[in-house]
Amino acid sequence: MGLKRTATTAVERILTNPLYYGFQHVKAWKHNPGGLYPLKNHEPIVDPTTWKLVNEKIKRGSKERKIYDDKIPLRGVLRCHCGKLLTGAASRGKMGKYYYYYKCSIASAHNNINSEKAHKQLSGALELMSLPEELISSIKEKSEVEMEITLKEHKTLLKQHQIEYEQAGEKLMSIEEKWITNRIQHDTYERWHNELTTKKESLKEQIEKLRHNGDRTFSLLRDQLFYLSDLNYVYTEATTIEKQELIKMVFDDYLYYENGIYRTPYIMEPFVRNELKIREMGYLDYTKKRDNFSIIPSSGAGEIRTLVQSWYCIRFLHV
């Protein structure tokens, strides 16, 4: 309510300000080295792990280079509690067999996890996060109703756009005619020409989108939803790239590891189930740290859309 910053970086500046987790940048002075130091008499309002995860996410952008290895599929998605993505490596055992590890490049004391153990834990968690069959059929029913409504809306919108598209075309022709017959100045012609061409192009794009999107999402949902009754199967059968997309989506890129257990502040809403058991089994500790604002709990519509989008992404993102 009292925020004075208006620059496009305003939110980023807030998120990257260490004051929020009780630290402060101090400049080097005389013999004292500079760096980040904890503040006295200042209570942090964000815990350090959340702050670091968020800041890793900001820093990363799209620059990150990725080398996929099927033996260590979590390299590139699983994080250390310090926020850094874990790297993976192999080491040779006494019998010549290779063992794979996930570790933190900042300090091996942070994390050094046997990949077999890590994979078993993840499978265990995913299995327990699977959707019960009743939920799947109820989502299917609801989504069919939702989709029908959406498709109807799309049809109406499509008609509207097509009419507007034709009108823009006619106007464009009339402008050209006026210019050819010397009834308007060149700059007037140019202004209208540009405006109408841009409008036509954007309408064409929207028309194309409306023609293709609806049907595809619907059939995808119908065909793929069933598999969510065994999330671990979905994960196991997926390629490494698909695995990473799935994990990133379900945990919104927040999955990390600390003291022998996976942890996350976020799980995609439909998969939040059996949390206590999953923690007791030592697989995953889910401590909710933010509200899932994209979900509309009353109708379930948000969840369904999220699911459809997930599937859409997983199946087609890597083509």
Stretch that binds Zn ion, among 13-21, 68-76, 98-106, 148-156 (CB under 5 A): 98-106
Contact status: 106 vs Zn ion (CB under 5 A): yes
**Sheet hosting strand 87-92, strand order edge to edge:** 87-92, 98-103, 112-114
- With CB under 5 A as the rule, give the number of residues binding Zn ion: 6
Residue span 63-82 as binding mask against Zn ion, x where in contact by CB under 5 A, dash where not = -----------------x-x
The answer to whether residues 256 and 262 touch, using CB atoms and an 8 Å cutoff, is yes
Beta bridge partners of 36: 25
Amino acid in position 130? S
Identify the residue among 104, 113, 220, 246 touching Zn ion (CB under 5 A).
Answer: 104
Residue span 109-148 as binding mask against Zn ion, x where in contact by CB under 5 A, dash where not = -x--------------------------------------
Angstrom distance (rounded) from CA 281 to CA 158: 51
Angstrom distance (rounded) from CA 214 to CA 225: 16
Stretch that binds Zn ion, among 44-52, 97-105, 273-281, 311-319 (CB under 5 A): 97-105
Q: Compare residues 104 and 278 and give the one whose CB is closer to Zn ion.
A: 104
Residues with Cβ within 8 Å of residue 191, at least 6 apart in sequence:
none
Provide the minimum distance between the beta carbon of 53 and Zn ion in the complex, in angstroms, as a whole number: 12
Residue span 1-30 as binding mask against Zn ion, x where in contact by CB under 5 A, dash where not = ------------------------------
Angstrom distance (rounded) from CA 81 to CA 257: 6
Angstrom distance (rounded) from CA 133 to CA 89: 39
Q: Which residues would be at the binding site for Zn ion (CB under 5 A)?
A: 80, 82, 84, 104, 106, 110
